[in-house]
Structure 1
Amino acid sequence: MPEPDLVAGLRRDRLDRLIRREAAAYAKARPRTQAALAEGAAAFLDGVPMHWMKDWPMPFPLLVKTASGARLTDLDGHEIDDFCLGDTGSMFGHSPAAVARAIRRQARHGLTYMLPTEASLEAAALLTQTFGAFQWQIATTATDANRFALRVARAVTGRRKVLVFNGCYHGTLDDTMVELRDGKTQSRQGLVGQFSDLSQGATAVEFNDLAAVEAALQTGEIAAILTEPVMTNSCMVLPEAGFHDGLRQLSRKYGALLIIDETHTISSGYGGYTRVHSLNPDMFVVGKCVAGGLPTAVWGMRAEVAERFAAYDARRPAGHSGMGTTLSGNPLQFACLRANLSEVMTPKAYRHMEKGAERLSAGLRRSIEKHRAPWHVVRVGARVEFICAPGPLKNGAAAAQAHQPAVEAALHTALLNRGCLIAPFHNMMLVSPATKAKQIDRLIAAFDSILDELF
């Protein structure tokens, strides 16, 4: 008798049965959603407001009616425990009370006027108190914040290239849309309308490979190293011991700036991975949930970099800098930043989040071990992922190989049918200050019941 076809350690025929059954169950449970989409979605390109909304594995998108804390209610009335939380955008829960109050108050006084407010000064002090001594600027998205930080790095170093890690994601800026193929930096496959060779402005090496970092820096072309403290775009990759110290030492040795992007790793603890692990970057970026869910990002530079940039700026001819957008730095952002940093994103909130995330990761590990699945679990503060491959993973290439789209899609839909939502792009789950232990236990039980069927 032939051996059964296996994928990620489980039988393909069992996986296929689960996929068919869960897709049918999802569709049957949502007649109002289907009717609404049939009536109103055609005006959108491909039927969705943003193309990535098609990346969810369900047969058709979920339509959200309300969201509060760590719960969603869809158009058909299903209540869902939300562990996706807007892919970190609502990591502190949906509409935290302090942030909602700040929005209501500011709405009575105007939404945008291209001028600072008293709240902006208070927000700046809170940013420094939370993340460290940087000279701050405000953006609307982390994509923009990273773009502007790289412009400053190129300006003050006079160099053209950024060093990034294979498999990274720093938003949709061209500067970082490269990958390693056959050992060479090339533009990423699949980019829409890309006409230039992005390797002219970027070099990619593997995460955790300090020898490759040094080889790239030795060229004298690298203006900055841009990195997440933990790789989070695919299957999560942790830094090896000494890696971040090595980055800091090498960047100083070769005159490149070190930029830490904490947009996902803000889950690590109060002040992000940088504060928790005493990193010392030249520049710092964070977005997504920093203002409690209102579109906001911040980026900052150390005083020494700010002085170098001021000297560069004094020589710059008058004209457009290529930095800044009209609606960035609006008073609503500052009102929400002040509220979130002072009342929501607190050490107490992180203690709750990390305790819950440890409960979740331990429960998932128990289930994986019980079923003898060749999988593993990774946790970074409030962020938890199960990875459908052995671990730990070393770099972006290994993370790409560990990715199991069919298995992950089946699990995501099956979990949703059992009342639990996780992130669509990979197996990411977040625990918010509003997440209850019973919600975590429901997710663990749902995961375990699905593995009972698959293994």
Structure 2
Amino acid sequence: MLAVNLVDLIKREQERFLTQHPRSAMAWKEGRQHFLYGGPSHWMRRWAGGFPIYVDRARGAHIRDIDGHDYVDFCLGDTGGMCGHAPEFVTEAALRQLTRGTTTMLPTEDSIWVGEELSRRFGSRYWTLTTSATDANRGAIRIARMVTGRPKVLVFSGCYHGGIEEAHIEIRDGQIGMRNQIHPNAVDHAAVSRIVEFNDIAALEAELSHGDVACVLAEPLMTNFGMIPVAPGFHDALRDITRRTGTVLILDETHTLSCGPGGYTQLHGLEPDILVAGKAIAGGIPAGIFGLSREIAERMWELVPFANPRQRQSAHLGIGGTLAGNALTVATMRAVLENVLTPQNYEGMIANATRLADQARRLITVHGLPWHVTQIGARAEVMFMPQPPRNGADVIAARNGDLETLLHAFYMNEGILVTPFHTMLLMCPATTAEDVERHTLVLERFILLLRRSGLA
């Protein structure tokens, strides 16, 4: 009976969404005639209304669609828009660089400033710029294999690190297999991957004891399968075990950059061998970064010395591309680091995330709901389970996909956007207390909807 009621409510909200968004519906119908999955990116189909809204303009923490509706945007391009939409400093830097050339495969003076600032924030490292966090992770993995001579990458079940083949597996019902709808792509995952549950120190130790793992690729805490907090002592054990087994530790800060100017790594004094970030680092211009510790850099220089300019030779190392580190990206990255993702702006972002999380917890308590809220820096998530999950298995066991779908559709109908893949909310510098209050009112309406329907 519960599933039927939820399905009926979802249908009702999707019908309301269709009625309110006729122009977006028509645009989606047209898009399906031209794009493989309706939009320029197949991810654009993943909205609970049945089709995505089509955006007319976006500024700050708000989006206006082609049907004239305004939304408070807590999705922010699934973190790519963490600087806010059209931030003035980024727009000015981009326009200025557009008039001076976007890509020459040559460095600009801005790159010197950017390199120094990245090391100031994240610790002294040797950086490479890419066009995405996926490319940054791919480059970091390749380097780890080069310096260790080992084939495998260890990841945590439920992780997300972009289009990295090694990370497309998960543990489900005790079995290792491909994540939902991902084709193996002719990759022998048994030969290139190992996988354990997050926070499981014993399993981590056992898998690294084989001596065939080049690197552990991990987020400082898991964010993309539902937010999974770090158990006490886990990071100390992770660093100790990887050092003892000669395994390179790669931390992917693409989402946890929301913790502060130096991400979770700086905030908690972590010491990864390679640090990765992307998405927000250039204000929405496609970009990623990875930085090597001096030890890893020196091992690379032994394998691949600086090129002799008198010799014509390939220099790509299987990493990057012709647009990586282009002048436009570097200019906007400087604008972000210098003027947007500043300590002062982080204070406001984190304060708003705290306000949102506290208000959501109050509603959950008042209505006696078996839900919880996790906050990390400027990011918060409502999850429909009593306690925070310890690992991916907990999420799989407790996740209520229909209830998530209903919430997402209801939120869009009420003018709130959250990450479409789960219920994660992110603040940007332009997010206001009024935006947070609007979310609280909508969440309360959602709870009352459930109570009227006998579902809460």
TM-score of Structure 1 vs Structure 2, range by shorter chain: over 0.9
What is aligned with 1:405?
401
Q: Is 1:445 aligned to residue 441 of structure 2?
A: yes
Q: Does 1:414 align with 2:410?
A: yes
Q: Encode CA deviations 1:107-166: one digit per residue, 9 max, x unaligned.
A: 001111100000111111111122211100000110000000000001001111111101
**Which deviates more, 35-44 or 271-280?**
35-44
Q: Does 1:425 align with 2:425?
A: no
Q: TM-score, normalised by structure 2?
A: 0.95
Contact 1:234–1:400, Cα closer than 8 Å, also in 2? no
Task: Give the SS at the match of 2:251.
Answer: strand
Match of 1:263 among 241, 254, 264: 254
- Give ranges in structure 1 of 5+ residues lacking alignment: 7-11
What is the Cα-based RMSD across aligned positions, in Å?
Answer: 1.7
Q: 2:306, 2:82 → 1: CA distance? A: 42
Residues 377 and 386, structure 1, Cα contact 8 Å, conserved in 2: yes
Match status 1:230 vs 2:224: no
SS at match of 2:362: helix
190-199 or 44-53, larger mean C-alpha shift: 190-199
Shift of 1:189: 4.7
Report the alpha carbon displacement of residue 185 of structure 1 after superposing the two structures with TM: 4.0
Q: Aligned partners of 1:180, 1:103: CA distance in 2, in Å?
A: 43
Please give the alpha-carbon distance, in whole angstroms, between the structure 2 residues aligned to 1:72 and 1:40.
Answer: 20
Spell out the pairing of 1:7-406 with structure 2 (5 A cutoff): 12=3, 14-181=5-172, 183=174, 185-192=176-183, 194-314=185-305, 319=314, 321-406=317-402
Structure 1 residues 446 and 18: CA distance shift in structure 2, 3 A: same
Q: In 2, distance between residues paired with 1:46 and 1:183?
A: 33
Aligned with residue 431 of structure 2, among 432, 435, 443: 435
| CA distance in 1 between partners of 2:368 and 2:361 (Å) | 10
How far, CA to CA, are the matches of 2:295 and 2:271 in structure 1? 13
**Alignment check: 8 A CA contact 2:152 2:194 kept:** yes
Tell whether the 8 Å contact from 1:116 to 1:331 is kept in structure 2 after alignment.
yes
Q: Per the alignment, do residues 16 and 200 of structure 1 end up closer, same or farther by CA in structure 2, a change over 3 Å counting?
A: same
DSSP 3-state at the match of 2:6: helix
Separation in 1 of the partners of 2:332 and 2:166?
A: 30
How far 1:14 moved relative to its partner?
4.4
Q: CA deviation at 1:188?
A: 3.4
Could you give the per-residue CA deviations for residues 305-356 of structure 1, whole angstroms, max 9, x where no partner exists?
1000111114999656211111111000100111100000101011001100
Contact (CA 8 Å) 2:97, 2:331: kept in 1 or not?
yes
Q: Higher mean Cα deviation, 403-412 or 352-361?
A: 403-412
* Secondary structure of residue in 1 paired with 2:71: strand
Contact 2:28 2:39 in 1 (8 A): no
Aligned residues, how many? 446
Amino acid at match of 2:300: F
What is the distance in 1 between the residues matched to 2:248 and 2:114? 26
309-318 or 170-179, larger mean C-alpha shift: 309-318
Aligned AA (1:327): L
Maintained 8 Å contact 2:157/2:195: yes
CA change 1:65–1:208 in 2 (3 A) is same
TM-score normalised over the length of structure 1? 0.95
Q: Offset at 1:97?
A: 0.7
**CA deviation map 1:184-212 (0-9, x unaligned):** 54443522362222121110001101111
One-letter identity of the residue aligned with 1:107: L
**Cross-structure match for 2:454:** none
Identical-residue share of aligned pairs (%)? 45
3-state SS of 1:145 partner: helix
Contact 2:7 2:402 in 1 (8 A): no
